[in-house]
Chains A and B, each alone.
Chain A
Amino acid sequence: MTVTDTSDKAVLLSAHERAEIDAWLARYPADQRQSALLGALRAVMHEDHYLSVPKMDAVAAYLGLPPIAVYEVASFYSMYETDERAAARHSISVCTNISCMLNGADEIVAHIENKLGIRLGESTPDRKFYLKREEECLAACCGAPMMQVNHVYYTELSPEKVDSILDGLE
């Protein structure tokens, strides 16, 4: 698959993002650059908290992929946010699957909604918190109810515990 010359689009990537992507690229054969795509998008998520179309195009140019191949992956995985409104420093996912639901996940969600003044799928105006609508079981049923904030799991939640976790975040 050849791609037209779009290397100038890659300038949008920061030095840190490039370093991250290069580290991923080093793990795969030189002719399999698309293997680094998940890692590359993760690097962009870390910096921007969402994947904008120009940034996805930049990743496509950097990896030598057609842009649509990047859009497909970005829109497939729920860990990637493609909506600017989802961009916030902290992404909160409360598991609402069966075990957590039986253990009071709905109250936890209601508590966070009230505390932050936003609904599921929204972010706070100061872009500090994004309350994600989690679709899947997060595989921590033994500690239900639970939530994931960024990459950290918090289990056996109560409203008080949620307060102390969220208040402790910068």
Chain B
Amino acid sequence: MSDELVSFEVNGQTLQARPGSMLIAATDAAGITVPRFCYHKKLSVAANCRMCLVEVEKAPKPMPACATPIMAGMKVWTNSPKARAAQKDVMEFLLINHPLDCPICDQGGECELQDLSVGFGNSSSEYVEIKRVVREKDIGPLIETAMTRCIHCTRCVRFGEEIAGMRELGATGRSQYTEIGTYVAKAVTSELSGNMIDVCPVGALTAKPSRYTARPWEMRSYDSIAPHDCVGSNIHVHTARGKVIRVVPRENEAINECWIADRDRFSYEGLQSQERLLKPQIKRDGHWKEVSWQEALDTVSGILRKQLAFNIAAFAGPSSTLEEFFLFQKLLRGLNIKNIDHRLRQVDFSDQTLTPVASGLGLSLAELEQQQAIFLIGANPRHDQPMLNHRIRKASIAGAKVLALNPRRLAFNYAAEQIVAAPLDMVTELAVLVKAALEAANQAVPNALAELLAKVEVSAGARSQVALLKAPNALILLGQMAVQHPAFSSLRSLASVLAQATGAKLGYLPEANSIAASLVGVLPHRELAGKPLAEPGLPVNAALNDKNLTTVVLMNAELDDFANPQQTLKALRTAKHVIVLAPFADAQAREYATVLLPTSTFVETSGTLINAEGLWQSFKGVVTPPGEVRPLWKVLRVLGNALNLPDFDYVETSEIAAELKLELKTVPLTAIGELPETLLVTKQEASLMQRIGDVPIYRTDALVRRAQSLQAMLSSPSVRMHGADMDRLGINTGDLVRLGQGESYVQLPAELDGAVPAGCVWVQSGTEAARALGSAFGSIMVDKG
């Protein structure tokens, strides 16, 4: 296909397009309506619905616009009598078996078939025979099926194969027996599956969580930004009667294209949780009492004023907004409180002063597609950043090599060369690559790495893997399993040296809005814009361990957000005051908290999120907060005023964002930091196993954890381990296994999993079952229960 444009004519209008590109793309660009069902600009051309038939000069029969390449000088008519007649006939055929159940169909009002049958159909049909019926299928908690309505456009099938990277749906049978489905009873499991609902032009696939709750014409659409990962997918939030009904993608080619992840689509269900806080509450003598905001805020400011600043610790969850983070640290710093942190799942802070202020991808999401080699270290982007993973997948399809170093073998939806090593061995595996890279580049070994590199030997495999990273466009990404690693500082340092030795770029896959938190200084050792503090406070784990701790402030953070829930719970139970500013409180939170302030979720406040590429995206509130819930930033502002702190007079979040933009514009988002004097090497305790405690896709934040349909997508908690360990411990699949970290035990059923290295157990974090456990990637005692 050449890049030169040729002229051709549609309905007498002269258009230009690349020769060989499809007619429908050109008519779409020119705003000429051509009806279609199977064509989708992001999917391959199937040309099986025949709805886009148009008349082409010299062609004996009408041609499908989606599969007719443009040639210079061709003449096309999209609504000539011949074209209209063809479209009308196709519509009659499509409606032969389509039920007339629009009044009870959830797609009614936004149905492509309904719309096009009005525009292109006949009021009556020659077909009087009985319509066929296709049995309903249960394909999981997210997608409702009514396959009798299916017109076999195969958009969902092509979406699965081409975008989701897993072919779960297919067209089985033949002729009038053709059915779209999974053939065997099976749930669709893709993390992008909800997009099939959007691409389905009829009511065959509809959203299960929101079905029958509102009609499209009753809903109002608001622009917003999804807060659950560092992509910041653009979304439309649809509301009716003051409630959020559903979330759908808002097209932004640079961010999420026209898709969103299921987590961003269905998390809104959590808004209706029974655990939603609706009124300020104070615990007195062990009993909760609902109080006025005035009383609650007086109590909180009283506590914060009375307690000694160094006995107070304050933690913020990573999906808070930029403005909330800023006011949070401003309020606390105004009171001289230093133990401030947002890195709740991180455990190694040994080199925190040597790292850049904030790190992101280091390039744009779209540029990910142009990479020729990508090395993922401790990263599971498919679960942690599904839409970002889609870009990596596109790079892979375009020929990029993907290399991954992880504590367990992951199910990538593209070809990836995987190095799998027990958590603590990841450091040595990475050291091998660094040594190979330094040798290849003829560079001296930095002092900090000398001891570790002396112990490892370069393998031929490592040399060829390093050679991949020499590609002109190579990228090394540190993911959440690296950040949460007990020797994160070592992984980070090694990755920096590897990047420098190979010429690859280095980036991070940060948690939700954590770049914003780092930039504004929700950190114990740095304040706004990364200015180092002469007298730093304690990082999260040290602050929780501090014997003098009397007061904890939790903003959008609960037990499941911490790396070590056991240690966290102990600290929260011991603390005299636990002030919670959050939308939710479960039974556990009601036990450890002493003050509950009901604050907003992302749909009830305005704010700004900073995504992995460093893009600031501001959004407005969509619905009025329920009950006495107040926007979190306003609560922080009022608290600041109540405590007589200066400069707490913001009227709108946009004011704060504008001010911060000026302050932060000079702070670069880089990833390569300085090297420490020596690398931290953690030793494994003999007799214990290593825990792989990554966070499940739908346990990442408080709202997601309360979205019921997403929860139903998760498998029940288990201990997954290697066959050799099961034999050694005499455990069979299904046996209850006793797990202990520190003081308490839990029992979970065992499962054989070849993807887990020997000596490790895969017990995920962020789950209720994991609350009694300690560090996500720590040592763990495992025996037959």
Contacts and interface: CB of A to CB of B under 8 A. Distances in A.
Asked whether A and B interact, the reply is yes
Contacts of A2: 165, 412-415
Contact of A69 (B165, B167, B184, B409): B167
Contact of B182 (A4, A68, A77, A78): A68
A68 B183 contact: yes
A68 B167 contact: yes
Given A2-B413, A2-B415, A5-B754, A75 B167 contact: no
Nearest to B171: A72
- Residue of A5, A72, A77 most packed against chain B (CB within 10 A): A72
Interface in A69-114: 69, 71-72, 75-78
Contacts of A66: 166-168
B241 interface: no
A4 B411 contact: yes
Nearest to B184: A53
Contact of A75 (B174, B409, B754, B755): B174
B172 interface: yes
Contacts of A71: 170, 172, 183-184
B396 to A, nearest CB: 9
A75 B165 contact: no
A142 interface: no
A76 B161 contact: no
A15 interface: no
Secondary structure type dominating chain B contacts: loop
A1 interface: yes
A1 B413 CA distance: 8
Given A68-B170, A75-B183, A1 B161 contact: yes
Contact of B172 (A4, A5, A75, A78): A75
A161 B784 CA distance: 69
A68 B173 contact: no
A76 B174 contact: yes
Interface residues of B, number: 22
B664 to A, nearest CB: 40
B635 to A, nearest CB: 46
A26 B411 CA distance: 29
Contacts of A1: 161, 165, 167
A10 to B, nearest CB: 15
Contacts of A4: 411
Interface residues of A, number: 15
A53 B412 CA distance: 25
A55 B722 CA distance: 26
B169 interface: yes
A1 B172 CA distance: 19
Contacts of B754: 5
B413 A68 contact: no
Contacts of B414: 2
A76 B170 CA distance: 11
Interface in A1-54: 1-2, 4-5, 53
Interface string B409-440: 10111110000000000000000000000000
A34 to B, nearest CB: 12
A2 B393 CA distance: 11
A75 B174 CA distance: 7
Contacts of B184: 53, 67, 71
A72 B172 contact: yes
A68 B189 CA distance: 14
Interface in B439-496: none
A141 to B, nearest CB: 22
Contacts of B166: 66
Contacts of B170: 68-69, 71-72
Nearest to B397: A1
B120 to A, nearest CB: 30
Contacts of A77: 174
B166 to A, nearest CB: 7
- Residue of A2, A68, A71 most packed against chain B (CB within 10 A): A68
A105 B406 CA distance: 66
- Residue of B167, B409, B413, B414 most packed against chain A (CB within 10 A): B167
A110 to B, nearest CB: 26
Contacts of A5: 409, 754-755
Contacts of B168: 66, 68
B418 to A, nearest CB: 11
B174 A68 contact: no
Interface string B755-776: 1000000000000000000000
Nearest to A74: B172
A120 to B, nearest CB: 17
B777 to A, nearest CB: 24
B780 to A, nearest CB: 25
Contacts of A67: 183-184
Contacts of B165: 1-2
A68 B169 contact: yes
A53 to B, nearest CB: 6
A2 B411 CA distance: 9
Nearest to B162: A1
A67 to B, nearest CB: 8
A142 B124 CA distance: 44
Interface in B275-315: none
A71 B181 CA distance: 10
Contacts of A75: 172-174, 183
Nearest to B166: A66
B178 to A, nearest CB: 9
A72 B171 CA distance: 6
A46 B576 CA distance: 75
A146 to B, nearest CB: 23
A162 to B, nearest CB: 29
Nearest to B413: A2
A67 B168 CA distance: 8
Contacts of B412: 2
A72 B409 CA distance: 30
Nearest to A71: B183
Contacts of A69: 167, 170
A66 B414 CA distance: 13
Contacts of B174: 75-78
A67 B181 CA distance: 12
A78 B175 CA distance: 12
A87 B413 CA distance: 36
A37 B184 CA distance: 19
A48 B413 CA distance: 33
Contacts of B173: 75-76
Interface in B711-757: 754-755
Interface in B143-176: 161, 165-174
Nearest to A78: B174
Nearest to A77: B174
Nearest to A72: B170
Contacts of A72: 170-172, 183
Contacts of B161: 1
Interface string A116-130: 000000000000000
A1 B393 CA distance: 10
A119 B125 CA distance: 37
Nearest to A76: B174
A148 B493 CA distance: 72
B514 to A, nearest CB: 30
Nearest to B168: A68
A77 B172 CA distance: 10
A76 B413 CA distance: 27
Given A69-B167, A71-B172, A72-B171, 12 more contacts: A1-B161, A2-B412, A2-B413, A2-B414, A2-B415, A5-B409, A68-B167, A75-B173, A75-B174, A75-B183, A76-B173, A77-B174
- Ranked nearest first, the 7 interchain pairs of A and B with the lowest CB-CB distance are A71-B183, A68-B170, A66-B167, A75-B172, A72-B170, A76-B174, A75-B173
26 contacts: A1-B161, A2-B165, A2-B412, A4-B411, A5-B409, A5-B755, A53-B184, A66-B166, A66-B167, A66-B168, A68-B168, A68-B169, A68-B182, A69-B167, A69-B170, A71-B172, A72-B170, A72-B172, A72-B183, A75-B172, A75-B173, A75-B174, A75-B183, A76-B172, A76-B173, A77-B174
